[in-house]
Structure 1
Amino acid sequence: MNRRLLYLFLIVLAGCNESQENLSNAFFSGEIVNPTSDYVVLYKGNAIIDSSALDKNNMFSFKLDSIEDGLYHFKHAPEYQNVYLKKGDSLLIRLNTVDFDESLVYSGKGEEINNFMMEVYLTKESEKKSITNYYRLEPKDFSRKIDSLQKIKLDLLKELDVEIHFTEKELEIAKADIVYSYAKFKERYPFKHKKLSKDKKSPKLNKDYYAYRNKLTYDNKDLTYLRPYYEFMVNHFGNLSYMSCTHGCDIKDNMAKNHLHFNKHKLKLIDSLVIEKELKDNLFRNVAVDYLLKVHDTQENNKIFMEVFHALSGDNRHMAEIDDLYAGINNIQPQKRIPEIELTNFEGEKVSLPNISKNRKTVFYFWSGTNRKHLKDISNRVKHLSRIEPNFSFVGINVKTDQDDWKSLVNASGFDPSYQFRSDDFEQLTKTLIVYPMNKCIITEDEQIVDAFGDIYKSFP
């Protein structure tokens, strides 16, 4: 432990000694090596609890009064990770952003549960490749493999509890972290196996395959923001919707192609089963974003979906975001004029999108200086397309890069500066043009949109 970390640790201990009379307090502090932001932000669920600016030694510190025991998460943009905090904790971390998760270590009072969950998280990450291969197995063999991986972690938790004596809530969170992680893979299995084996039908599962569903809870606020629990729920409702539609809906075999029906069905299932309000809101948001961003359905179908969404989720905490997304998608439909957004050209002048695309066929694509691999790939792609598609002007829009870096990267990448522009307002750009994913391109002809949901790699040969 270096001197700065030791010094901070002593301060935390001193603070704890002075606070013995108030055991409802908790301390959470640490050091960020190679920081990528000036702040650490602490969240409880979706709400910001507090933020701490890094000092000159890259240290942060939180003193939390009257803390509610449970799962929190801290964010050092763009990364975040969970942390379990309870009354009386004096928790210290040290991490290096070069290997954010791998380098994260907890020490002090409260370290045991957090280090255990961190080790489980890293182990699960290392297992992903093996589990991908397990999807090829028959159901019985797949279940055996997954159950074995889960049992190893649960046995370790049981052994550690004998030594540490975790609280009831700590045990609940740690166990759920394990169980829902592996249940998620079981929910995915029928679809992954069918795809990998190229079978026309889903594999036949024995009656005990989904036995873990008997202990499912849809009403535990403590689990709402536990990542494995939420990921499980997303996969679980996708599975339930598919199976119930396939066996119970009139359209049956056409269901997979009828995205509107499938997503309406999913909303209704979530509404009927999920009790916990924040979990329901988050799952509704997931369905809406997934449908609106990825399906690219007709305006008529989008409208029908939104009517159902509003009817079932009128007070959803994400309603404004979904309404904005829907409005943005409506505004970039074919034959509409490209939105009046101002960009900055290489000479520092403001130019609007309609002016850029006037009297010519234009392909707008997006890049950022924060992702060098994407920049390299897209610059090569644009050079290729410029040769084989001379009737189009390929125009780059940069985001999340300061002006000097942007100009340097344009020159280093071999882009033509006269076809490069920069946005100062990433939020406005993404909300108006629906910049998702980053490989997206927008094809226009004389200011009119031809395809606002193109792909720079797929829309051209």
Structure 2
Amino acid sequence: MASTLILISCEKDSKIEEGAAYFGGEVVNPRENFVILSKSKKVLDTVFLDESNRFLYKVANMEEGLYTFRLWAAEGLEYQMVLLEPNDSIIFRLNTLEFDESLVYTGRGARKNNYLINLFLDGEAEDKVVLGYSQLAPHEFERRLDSIRNHKFNKLKKFNVKNPTSDIFNNLVEGSINYDYYLSKEVYPFVNYANSERANFEALPSNFYDFRSEIDYDYSELMDFFPYYSFLKHHFENMALSEHFKKSDDTVLDVKSKNYNLIKLDLIDRLMINDSIKNRLLAQTAFEFISKSKNTDEYDEVLNSYTAKNTHVENGTYITEMVSSLKALKTGSFLPEISILDYNNRELNLKDVINKPTVLYFWSNTYSSHNDSHKKAEELKVKYPEVNFIAIHATTNKQQEWKSLILKYNYSKDNEFIFKNPELAKQKLAISPINKVMIIDKKGKIVNAHTNMFSIMFEEELLGLLNQ
């Protein structure tokens, strides 16, 4: 009802600009009092909620297409997309406790967006079904996948009969349906449990990937739409592995293989036309290899290949600095100089708080995984009392905000810290992803600069640390 009132007020406003679009909403259980609006990675504005937790924003100089709105919800900073066209007046209502599931649009342009959000939600449920189908033989898997795609296209036809729609809407829906279908076929060899990836490739029908002739590597309308990017990521992984198998004796995917990643970088550079997506795919490939491989001797070759192909200065600088940081964090090195703050606002050097075998783990309230990390650390403390577990909030240096979180989640004050300069510390310690873990020996030397508390090998690493 409240959203409807906003819309009525908007439509009665004599100052409504012809050709502009209006976008607003009501946020139930807001975690913060603002919404961030953006278009193609460019932030348009930060819009504050009023006392009723509502807002209304005019998009002037209207460029039709997908827009993104972000706001803080139960699981951290969440986002969703909205299709805006000239003269739209779209209002949403959502509950931050059930972000996507509670999202509903009203107003002029609402029907197309409700269709898109339902397509997204149906896709999440469909993924589990397709995963089950992926254990079938290739021909039967294909038959069932074709049935799902045909059902979606029939549903779109029925919607178009009752609702006048635009080309951009139909292109988005058709693109989403097709690229979801293509994605399922690309990941099939990786999620079918029958054999190794090499054996799965060899068992595929000769026409299994005929759809690749229909791929648009410059699909600007879908540039910001997650099904398209997700497809491209897995598409290049698949093709790179297939090429890698031709040149090696490997039978399974090794994401830390230098040659596999070099092939992937070359394929992305050769085939992608859209520079924005190309740079993102190149950066992701280089980042994933560098963050997962512990062989620092191979970093430079991958970095050089990436640098020669990348045209995004900021991405290039970030990857280059990450390589430098990881080289400095090799096993046997001491930690760099990093200033931290404890719960009593005392400034300390990170190295000075390490006086016995230590696990450093990082967290941020932006990601819900921080509770899992803390629970895991508490379990390990009981099993390994000789090891110190130190938690560092990696994304804020605001004392009061951080202290409120410590109290809210009932974390121990003794082994919780924040960085004095989070951005500098994250760069020096190569903290990405945010939930990475470091193991340090009693002398303050690095044993493993990039591990995972949830790995089945983690406790073996701790035993090795204690037996030094």
Same fold (TM over 0.5): yes
378-387 vs 310-319, greater mean Cα deviation: 378-387
Q: Give SS of 1:201's match.
A: helix
Pairwise CA distance, 1:163: 2.4
2:322 aligns with one of 325, 330, 343: 325
Which digits, 9 at most, give the CA deviation of each residue in 1:81-117, with x for residues without a partner? Answer: 1111111111111111111111111111111221111
Q: CA deviation at 1:307?
A: 0.7
Q: Give the superposition deviation at 1:399.
A: 4.6
Equivalent in the alignment of 1:230: 229
SS at structure 2 position matched to 1:233: helix
Aligned match of 2:262 = 264
Which amino acid in 2 is paired with 1:152?
Answer: H
Unaligned runs of 5+ in 2: 461-468
Residues 69 and 87, structure 1, Cα contact 8 Å, conserved in 2? yes
Equivalent AA in structure 1 for residue 81 of structure 2: N
Q: Does 1:345 align with 2:355?
A: no
1:343-373 Cα shifts (integer Å, max 9, x gaps): 222332111111112x533221234566677
Amino acid at match of 1:121: F
Q: Do the aligned partners of residues 274 and 337 (structure 1) sit closer, same or farther apart at CA in structure 2, a change above 3 Å counting? A: same
- Looking at structure 2, the residues matched to 233 and 456 of structure 1 have their Cα atoms a distance apart, in angstroms, of 30
Change (3 A) 1:11 1:321: farther
1:69 aligns with 2:68: no
Q: Please report how far the alpha carbon of residue 223 of structure 1 lies from its aligned counterpart in structure 2 after TM superposition.
A: 1.3
Question: Does 2:36 align with 1:41?
Answer: yes
**CA RMSD of superposed structures (Å):** 2.5
The correspondence of residues 357-396 of structure 1 with structure 2, limited to 5 A, is 357=354, 359-368=355-364, 374-375=370-371, 377-396=372-391
Q: Aligned partners of 1:44, 1:150: CA distance in 2, in Å?
A: 29
Q: 1:277 and 1:374, CA in 2 relative to 1: closer, same or farther beyond 3 A?
A: closer
Tell me the number of residue pairs that the alignment of Structure 1 and Structure 2 aligns: 447
Q: Helix, strand or coil for the counterpart of 2:333? A: coil
- After superposition, where does 1:129-148 map in structure 2 within 5 Å? 129-148=128-147
Q: Distance in 1 between matches of 2:92 and 2:208?
A: 40
Corresponding residue for 1:6?
4
Q: Give the deviation of 1:268 after TM superposition.
A: 0.5
SS in 1 for 2:450: strand
Q: Do the aligned partners of residues 378 and 234 (structure 1) sit closer, same or farther apart at CA in structure 2, a change above 3 Å counting? A: closer
Asked if structure 1 preserves the Cα contact closer than 8 Å seen for 2:28 and 2:94, the reply is yes
Q: Distance in 2 between matches of 1:54 and 1:238?
A: 42
SS of alignment partner, residue 360 of structure 2: strand
Residue identity matched to 2:105: Y
Instruction: Tell me which moved more, 75-84 or 379-388.
Output: 379-388
The alpha-carbon distance between structure 1 residues 214 and 373, as it changes in their structure 2 partners (threshold 3 A), is closer
Q: How far off its partner does 1:9 sit?
A: 1.1
Shift in alpha-carbon separation, 1:263–1:316, aligned structure 2, 3 A: farther
SS of 2:337's partner is coil
- In structure 1, the partner of 2:212 is 213
* Aligned counterparts of 1:235 and 1:48: Cα–Cα separation in 2: 28
Contact 1:242 1:262 in 2 (8 A): yes
Counterpart pick for 2:21 among 19, 26, 29: 26
Change (3 A) 1:242 1:316: farther
- Give the 3 Å change call, closer, same or farther, for CA 334–409 of structure 1 in structure 2: farther
Structure 1 position 280, deviation (Å): 0.7
Q: Deviations over 1:200-246 (max 9, x none)?
A: 71152223322322211001211111110000000100011111221
The CA distance in 1 between the partners of 2:29 and 2:406, in whole Å, is 25
SS across alignment from 1:343? strand
Distance in structure 1 (CA, Å) of the matches to 2:40 and 2:198: 41
The verdict on how the C-alpha distance between 1:321 and 1:36 changes in structure 2, with shifts beyond 3 A counting, is: farther
Q: Alignment identity in percent? A: 28
* 1:422 aligns with one of 414, 418, 421: 418
* Equivalence map 1:36-185=2 (5 Å): 36-77=31-72, 78-185=77-184
Q: Is the 8 A contact 1:366 1:439 kept in 2?
A: yes
Rounded to whole Å, the distance in 2 between the matches of 1:167 and 1:383 is 55
- What's the TM-score, normalizing by structure 1? 0.89
The residue type paired with residue 268 of structure 2 is: I
Amino acid of the residue matched to residue 449 of structure 2? A
